A and B are shown apart, each in its own frame.
Chain A
C-alpha cells in the first residue's frame, strides 16, 4: 500500500498582487506501482502540488496520504528529484549518492553496496570518483537520480527533473527512467511541461489548469508497457498527444494572457 491519495488539496499563498491559489480542490489517486505524470502550463501549481506530497510544503486545506499514512513532513520512503542541479559540488559522485544513506545512518558497508548499485543502474559506473564539476548536466541529473534510487524509496516524486537538459538527453534519460521503473516498480509521480515526455513515460497523465491549479483532465495512456522512444511515431501516440494538447492549449493561452496582463504576477514557478 504505497499509492498516493490526494484529498481536496488546496494551497494558497500571498504574492505581490494578492492571494494566489496555486492548487485548488485536487482529489486524485496514484495507484501503487503506478507511473503518473502531471502536465500543465508554466506557473500552474504542479511543482507546488509535488512539494506538498513530498512533505516540504504544508497545504492550506485538504491532505495527502502516502501508503495510507497522512503526510506531515518529509519521509525517507518518498524520494524527491528536483529540476535544478542538486548534486553537491564538494562531493564526488559516490559521496553524493551515499549522502542520504549516511544521514539515514545506514551501516557503512551497506551504504557502499547500495550506492554502487544505484550508480551502476543509472549508467555512471566508472565515474564514482569524479566531482560534479567534471560532469555534464545530464550526468549530474543521473547522479541525482542515483542518489534518490539508493534510498530505495517506495514512492518517487520527480519535479521536471530533465527540464534543463537538451532534447536528446531528455529523451535518453526518460528512457532510462522507464527502464529503471520496470526493474524497481516504484510508485512514480512525474511533473513535466513536455506532453510527449509525459505520454512516453506514464500510464496516466493529469492535465492541470493555470491558476487556480485544478486537475482538468485525466488521460489514460493505453500504449504497450514495454514501449520505447519509437512509439512517438505511432497514430495512437499522436491521438493522445492531440487530446492532451487540446486541453492544455486553452489553459496555456489563458495563463499567458493573465501573466502578461499583470506584470508583477507573484512567484514564477517554472
Chain B
C-alpha cells in the first residue's frame, strides 16, 4: 500500500496571467537600486560623521580616504598573493564541501537509518562555532591553507548535507513511483527525477554553505595565517593602520556582495519557470 500525499497547494495554481511575468525583472531592478542606494547613503553618513567630528578618524576613517587607498591596493602587486590565497581556499572549500555534502546527503536518503542516527549531530553542528576547532586543525595539518580548507569544507558541507537530505525526503512519492513505472535505473531516478525535484532545497543549502566557507576562511585567516585577506586585516589592525585595514574590509565586503549576487543569479537561472514551493 502506498502512502499518498496531497500535492502542495501552490502546484494547483492555474496559468499565471501574462502581465505578472514581467514583475520579477522589475523587482530585481528595484532591489538592486535599493541596495546601491543604501550603500551610498551609508557612505554619505560615514563621511558626514567624520567631518562633523562624531567619531575619531582612527575609529572609522572617511570613505573619501578609504576608497582611494582601496583603489591603490587593488593595483598594487602586494594585493594579488593574498587575494589569490583567499580565493584558492574559498574555491577548494566550496568544491570539497559541496561535493561531500551532496554525497553524504544522498547517502542519508538511501540509508534512512544511518541518516536518523547522524541527524542530531549534524543539526547541532549548526550551533557549534566550528572556527573553534581551528587550533586543532593547525596542530594536525600545520599553519597553511590546508588547515583552513579542511575546516571551511566541513562548515560548507553541513548545510549542504542537511538540505540535500531534506530536499530528497520531500520529493513527492508519486515522482518516484513514476520513475519506477518507466523503469528508471537507480542513477536515472537520482539524477533525472529526485535531485531535480530536490533542487530548490539543495540550492538553498549550497548558498548557505558557500557563505559559511567565506566567513570561515576569513575568520581563520584572521586568527592565524601567513597570508590571505583576513590575515592582512589582522596585520593592519595590529599596526594601527586604520585606513589600510578598512581598504581590505571594503574588498572583502565587495567580494561577498558579488558572491551573493552570483549565487542568487545562478539560483534564479536554475529554478526559473518552476513553481516556488
* In the complex, B75 has a CB within 8 A of chain A: no
Contact of B175 among A55, A88, A164 (CB under 8 A): A88
Complex interface: chain A residues within 8 A of B14 (CB): 135-137
* In the complex, B184 has a CB within 8 A of chain A: yes
Query: Bound state CA distance, A78 and B182, in angstroms?
Result: 9
The B230-277 residues at the A interface (CB cut-off 8 A) are: 271, 273-275
Select from chain B the residue with minimum beta-carbon distance to A92.
B273
Query: Bound state CA distance, A84 and B181, in angstroms?
Result: 14
* In the complex, A65 has a CB within 8 A of chain B: no
User: Given A89-B275, A136-B14, A45–B1 Cβ distance below 8 Å?
Assistant: yes
On whether the beta carbons of B174 and A88 are closer than 8 Å, the reply is no
Query: Bound state CA distance, A79 and B178, in angstroms?
Result: 10
Using an 8 Å CB-CB cutoff, how does the interface string of B1-37 with A read, 1 for contact, 0 for none?
1111111000111111000000000000000000000
Interface centre among A51, A83, A86, A135 (most CB of B within 10 A): A86
On whether the beta carbons of A11 and B7 are closer than 8 Å, the reply is no
Closest beta carbon of chain B to A242's beta carbon, Å? 30
Complex interface: chain A residues within 8 A of B271 (CB): 90
* In the complex, B199 has a CB within 8 A of chain A: yes
Select from chain B the residue with minimum beta-carbon distance to A79.
B181
Complex interface: chain B residues within 8 A of A151 (CB): 182
Using an 8 Å CB-CB cutoff, how does the interface string of B167-194 with A read, 1 for contact, 0 for none?
0000010110110111110001000110
User: Given A88-B193, A136-B14, A74–B199 Cβ distance below 8 Å?
Assistant: no
On whether the beta carbons of A133 and B180 are closer than 8 Å, the reply is no
Interface residue tally for chain B (C-beta within 8 Å): 33
On whether the beta carbons of A89 and B11 are closer than 8 Å, the reply is yes
Complex interface: chain A residues within 8 A of B91 (CB): none
On whether the beta carbons of B182 and A56 are closer than 8 Å, the reply is no
Contact of A99 among B15, B177, B182, B273 (CB under 8 A): B182
Contact of B11 among A57, A74, A75, A85 (CB under 8 A): A85
On whether the beta carbons of B182 and A133 are closer than 8 Å, the reply is no
Query: Bound state CA distance, A268 and B6, in angstroms?
Result: 12
User: Given A45-B1, A76-B182, A270-B4, A131–B177 Cβ distance below 8 Å?
Assistant: no
The B205-237 residues at the A interface (CB cut-off 8 A) are: none
The size class of the interface chain A forms with chain B is 35 or more
On whether the beta carbons of B4 and A83 are closer than 8 Å, the reply is yes
On whether the beta carbons of A88 and B2 are closer than 8 Å, the reply is no
Using an 8 Å CB-CB cutoff, how does the interface string of B58-97 with A read, 1 for contact, 0 for none?
0000000000000000000000000000000000000000
Total contacts A-B at CB 8 Å: 102
On whether the beta carbons of B174 and A11 are closer than 8 Å, the reply is no
Query: Bound state CA distance, A74 and B182, in angstroms?
Result: 7
Using an 8 Å CB-CB cutoff, how does the interface string of A59-102 with B read, 1 for contact, 0 for none?
00000000000000111101110111110111000000001100
On whether the beta carbons of B181 and A74 are closer than 8 Å, the reply is yes
On whether the beta carbons of B178 and A82 are closer than 8 Å, the reply is yes
Contact of A133 among B4, B183, B197, B273 (CB under 8 A): B273
Interface centre among B1, B177, B188, B275 (most CB of A within 10 A): B1
* In the complex, B115 has a CB within 8 A of chain A: no
* In the complex, B57 has a CB within 8 A of chain A: no
Query: Bound state CA distance, A132 and B4, in angstroms?
Result: 21
* In the complex, A2 has a CB within 8 A of chain B: no
Complex interface: chain A residues within 8 A of B4 (CB): 83-84, 268-270
Closest beta carbon of chain B to A102's beta carbon, Å? 8
Complex interface: chain A residues within 8 A of B135 (CB): none
* In the complex, A13 has a CB within 8 A of chain B: yes
Contact of A90 among B7, B183, B199 (CB under 8 A): B199
* In the complex, A253 has a CB within 8 A of chain B: no
On whether the beta carbons of B177 and A133 are closer than 8 Å, the reply is no
* In the complex, A209 has a CB within 8 A of chain B: no
On whether the beta carbons of A89 and B274 are closer than 8 Å, the reply is yes
Complex interface: chain B residues within 8 A of A56 (CB): 2, 177, 180-181
* In the complex, B196 has a CB within 8 A of chain A: yes
Q: 28 A-B pairs, CB-CB below 8 angstroms? A: A20-B1, A22-B1, A47-B1, A56-B180, A73-B183, A74-B181, A74-B182, A74-B183, A80-B177, A82-B177, A83-B4, A85-B172, A86-B172, A88-B175, A89-B11, A90-B274, A99-B192, A100-B182, A103-B183, A103-B184, A103-B192, A131-B274, A133-B13, A134-B273, A135-B15, A136-B15, A137-B12, A269-B4
8 interchain residue pairs of minimum CB distance: A100-B182, A133-B275, A84-B174, A80-B181, A136-B14, A131-B273, A86-B174, A85-B7
* B residues adjacent to A (C-beta < 8 A): 1-7, 11-16, 172, 174-175, 177-178, 180-184, 188, 192-193, 196-197, 199, 271, 273-275
